[in-house]
Structures are given as C-alpha cells and as structure tokens.
Structure 1
C-alpha cells in the first residue's frame, strides 16, 4: 500500500520522518531500500503526489543536488516555502515498487541571534561591546573638546581697554 513504506510488490522504502531547518540552510534527505547496484530508479516528489520530480520543479531550479544514485537529495538555501512532505519513490527491475512514508521538511525563519554550541549570544554581545566602546569614545571626545575650549577661553589675551 502506498505511503506506508512498502509498495505494490513489497519493496520497503524508508526515509526520515522529519527534518527541521532555518531559512538559508541546506536540507539533505535520504532514502533506503533493499536493492543494490543500479537495478532501480528513484524519484523524489513534492507532497508525495504524482507531481513531476522535485529536482525538475521550477521552485528548486539550481538548488537541488542528488547523490548516491538518487538515494540522497540535498536542497540548498531553503526557504519557508520549501516546507512540506517529500517522498522517495523506488521502482526496481522486475516491477517491484515502493514509496516512503515521506519526510516532512519544516523550514522556519532564521533566528536573529547567533547562538553557539556553548550558549554564547555572539551577535548581541558583540553589538553591546561595540556600542559601549563607541559611547565611551564619544564621551572622552566631548570631555577633551570641552577642556580645550575652557583653556582657550581662560588664557585668551584680552583686548586692552582704554580709560
């Protein structure tokens, strides 16, 4: 039965259930089944329907690469519009067929905070440090200018006054 990982003639096809990514990332989906060598064809389809292959869709033009004789497909620079379920269909020599359960791709907006593995908030820390340093430099310049103006005004010779 289609959609349950097996096909009309019992070919079991497995693929990851879900892949999460942020906009701009790359997503790689793989498809495993029990056939070796090149006695099969693999087609990746959008929304697990009878649509044209994923890699020939205009939405994915120049963003899809396939590896391992189509057992693995990578979409680069994903967008939120790439969210959906993609299926791997396999047809083996001799008529055996199978379709995976589908991999749900969830693409979210890229987060503005860059969080490293150790939890540092690099973006905000960097912006905070640069902002603080800028304020200190401006304050020092203001103090320096004010003191120079005071010196000029205090030591400026006065014009002689006539009695």
Structure 2
C-alpha cells in the first residue's frame, strides 16, 4: 500500500483517522543512526510505526524496530513529541491519517539486521551522511532535535 505525505498543503485530503506513532533514533557505538528506506514512499526514515491498543510506547517502539530492522533495542530516552496538525498522510486504501509521533532514543541489545516487507533497505548512517538522504522534513526535524542534544524533549 502506497502513501503520500502532505505538509501544510491546502490540497491535502481531510483526515479520517488519528494515529499514535512511535519512532526511534537507534544509534551504534560509532554514533551512526539506523535508517530504513520505506517501501510505501521510497523515503528514508527512522524505524517506527503505529502503536497497537494493547501496547505501551516503549513496547511499540521495541516491536516496530524489531519488525522493520531485525534488531532488539533498549529505550534510553526521548527526543520529542511531534503533533503538527499540518502533517497529513494519505494511504491508497482510503485512510487519511493525522498522526502524532513520540520519538525515542535507543541502543541495540540483540538481534540481527533484517529487512522487512515494509522496507527496501536498512543501514547505519553517519550524521554527516544524513543530508544526502531523501528524508521527509518531519523526519529530518526529529533527527535535527536528536543531533542538537536538547536538554529536555521537544514538545510541539
């Protein structure tokens, strides 16, 4: 199922669902960040996705990272809470999502790199390579906040 992301676009379709999303900035011992190229829009993104009704935020992050990358993680902190109503995601099945995202930080504690059916590529990216990747600006904002090392989580 393909998706189209809109930001501050008056032509964006009207949302018909609200979804809690989680994402994780997973880093390795070299300071590289785990990124995936999404199959549904071909953009690079942090691992993450929608939270299930039976999960906590950390459980959802653990599950999403495991499903999308093959790695087990330990949550180490929080980058921020992203609730910008101008960000709309439309799917080919008719869902038009207003999503808010809780972005956490994490480290690898196990598992083996694996590409899921949601991704075409998963790899470690050094911070100086991030600018070369095709990344939606909402993802880039999370990465920038992580790189800035804010004293407290971003809320916006």
Please classify the TM superposition score into its range, dividing by the shorter chain length: under 0.3
Q: Structure 2 length as normaliser, TM-score?
A: 0.24
Length-normalised TM-score, structure 1: 0.23
Question: Which has the larger helix fraction?
Answer: 1
The structure number with the bigger radius of gyration is: 1
User: Which structure has more strand as a fraction of its residues?
Assistant: 2
